[in-house]
């Protein structure tokens, strides 16, 4: 039987990875480009980027124009609500890039990248925070992930903003003293935290540098600062809650399932957060296995495409080949 071809995309908030391969597990091309999240770029631009990336992958794989892809699987940030997933599925399908098209949130690619087991709950804590879960029968659990509008707390952007917030209030006396004050001053090389805040506001310091303050929270907490330590414990509270709610909705709390931790804040394995989470999750679900994402999420997107091609879960040998290649 001739191997069938697929393309799979993992679209984050800043970039998109696309893999093109075949149903035997061979990876024929891998390309990257800008984000395809419809929250970050206009909808038409997101669609154009998907088409361009698949075209680049076909070129890299030396695929003749007449050879059709059997499956296109796109997992992207910004596909948070059912209406968003539905619209993206309709519009991406209309591009006619493959015989069959699947579109969903990028968290499902993370889940598949982190675990081969069908019962899985995953939390991504990077720039932002979100969680999702899936069960063997196809049931899923997810959140709207609309920031404060939907009750979200934490992630790198939020922790960085809180670092500056508490440093300013420590300096001017409105809040408790914290070593974040001196750390923020030193980080920006300015005489005061207020000067740093003003420079960020006026554009004298690029606002993107705000994100660098997330790491300061962990550094200062590790040195014994109480306030920074409380921020990290609060982040652990939120991650534990996300896992608890997802697992409870899927009826997995008392079962053997996999918990995947992904995103830059979690994959850094900061001891104060990581070790606390391991204790909490062991108490929450004693039969669960906790893993930190090691494979790139695009590997999960590729495996989901292969699962579709194989009518279930792809063979172990095919999965191993893709994980090794990607």
Ranges of each domain in the chain:
5-114+295-325, 156-227
pLDDT at 1 over 80: no
pLDDT at 6 over 70: yes
pLDDT at position 83 = 95
207-231 pLDDT tens trace: 999 999 999 999 999 999 999 999 9
What CATH code is assigned to 5-114+295-325?
3.30.420.40
pLDDT at 248 over 70: yes
Query: What's the pLDDT band for 146 if we cut at 50, 70, 90?
Result: confident
Q: Using alpha carbons, select from 57, 42, 149 the residue that is nearest to residue 97.
A: 57
Instruction: Produce one character per residue of 270-286: b if its CB has 16 or more CB atoms within 10 Å, e if not.
Output: bebbbebbeebbeebbe
Query: What's the pLDDT band for 57 if we cut at 50, 70, 90?
Result: very high
């Amino acid at each position: 039987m001739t191997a069938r071809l697929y393309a799979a995309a993992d679209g984050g908030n800043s970039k998109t990875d696309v893999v093109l391969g075949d149903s035997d597990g061979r990876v024929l091309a891998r390309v990257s480009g800008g984000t395809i999240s419809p929250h970050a770029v206009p909808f038409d631009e997101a669609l154009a980027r998907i088409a361009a990336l698949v075209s680049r992958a076909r070129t890299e794989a030396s695929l003749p124009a007449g050879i059709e892809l059997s499956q296109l699987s796109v997992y992207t940030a910004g596909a948070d609500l059912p209406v968003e997933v539905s619209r993206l599925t309709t519009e991406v399908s209309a591009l006619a890039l493959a015989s069959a098209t699947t579109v969903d949130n990028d968290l499902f690619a993370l889940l598949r990248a982190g675990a081969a087991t069908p019962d899985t709950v995953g939390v991504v804590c990077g720039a932002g925070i979100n969680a999702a879960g899936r069960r063997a029968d196809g049931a899923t659990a997810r959140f709207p992930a609309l920031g404060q509008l939907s009750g979200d707390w934490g992630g790198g952007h939020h922790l960085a903003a809180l670092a500056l917030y508490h440093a300013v209030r420590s300096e001017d006396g409105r809040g408790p003293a914290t070593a974040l004050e001196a750390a923020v001053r030193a980080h920006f090389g300015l005489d005061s935290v207020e000067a740093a805040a003003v420079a960020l506001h006026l554009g004298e310091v690029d606002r993107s540098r705000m994100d660098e303050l997330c790491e300061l929270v962990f550094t200062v907490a590790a040195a014994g600062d109480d306030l920074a330590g409380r921020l990290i414990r609060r982040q652990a509270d939120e991650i534990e809650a996300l896992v608890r709610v997802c697992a409870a909705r899927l009826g997995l709390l008392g079962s053997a399932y996999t918990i995947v931790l992904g995103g830059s804040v979690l994959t850094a394995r900061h001891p104060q957060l990581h070790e606390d989470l391991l204790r909490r999750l062991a108490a929450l679900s004693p039969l669960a296995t906790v893993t930190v994402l090691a494979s790139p999420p695009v590997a999960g997107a590729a495996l989901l495409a292969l699962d579709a091609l194989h009518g279930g879960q792809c063979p172990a040998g095919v999965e191993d080949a893709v994980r090794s290649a990607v």
